Amino acid sequence: AVANVIDENIKLCRRLIIVLVPESLSFDMLKNMSEEQIAVYNALIQDGMKVILIELEKVKDYTAMPQSIQYIKQKHGAIQWSGDLTEQSQCAKTKFWKKVRYHMPPKRPPPSSSTQPLKHTS
């Protein structure tokens, strides 16, 4: 039941952001977490969902990662974090954040009201 709820919510998403951190422990965690497994599976089989892969540090060897991550890296590439964690490097105007925004889908238009505006008659 929980997996179905997770799956339904993930299907509503248009992007999946995966952040790769330098510790190899995180790759083992990815193998054991059902939410991430469902999200990666949906991203691989669902055309509407694209993946944004972010590397906090340059990953030299992808062979230690799950095959799904290797495939995503090959298919979509990765965005490299090139700053530190200071306030200035987290500014929305940096090149990194511009690249992330470029990979995001366009904003959805606000839902239109199903009711017609009232017309005044004189």
pLDDT digits 0-9 by tens, 19-53: 887 665 455 555 556 666 667 766 676 666 788 88
Alpha carbons 40 and 99: distance in angstroms, whole number: 21
Query: In Å, how far are 9, 112, 113 from 109, measured between CA atoms?
Result: 20, 8, 12
Q: How many structural domains are present in the chain?
A: 1
> Around Cβ 104, how many Cβ atoms within 10 Å?
12
> Which residues, at least 6 apart from 100, have a Cβ–Cβ distance to it below 8 Å?
52, 54, 79
Q: Is residue 113 part of a domain?
A: no
Q: Is residue 62 part of a domain?
A: yes
Q: Is residue 43 part of a domain?
A: yes
The answer to whether 52 and 87 have CB atoms below 8 angstroms apart is no
Is 35 a catalytic site residue? yes
Q: Is residue 122 part of a domain?
A: no
Set 35, 55, 57, 87: catalytic member: 35
The answer to whether 104 and 15 have CB atoms below 8 angstroms apart is yes
Q: Is residue 108 part of a domain?
A: no
Residues 95-99: what's their mean pLDDT? 85
Q: Is residue 112 part of a domain?
A: no
Structure tokens at 19: 């952040």
Looking at the chain, the whole-number percentage of residues with pLDDT higher than 90 is 2
Task: Give the pLDDT confidence score for residue 115 in this predicted structure.
Answer: 55
Task: Give the pLDDT confidence score for residue 25 in this predicted structure.
Answer: 44
Q: Which helix (H) or strand (E) holds 44?
A: helix 34-45
Task: Give the pLDDT confidence score for residue 72 in this predicted structure.
Answer: 83
Q: Is residue 25 part of a domain?
A: yes
Domain that holds residue 47: 2-103
Q: Grade residue 108 by pLDDT with cuts at 50, 70 and 90.
A: confident
Residues 73-79: what's their mean pLDDT? 87
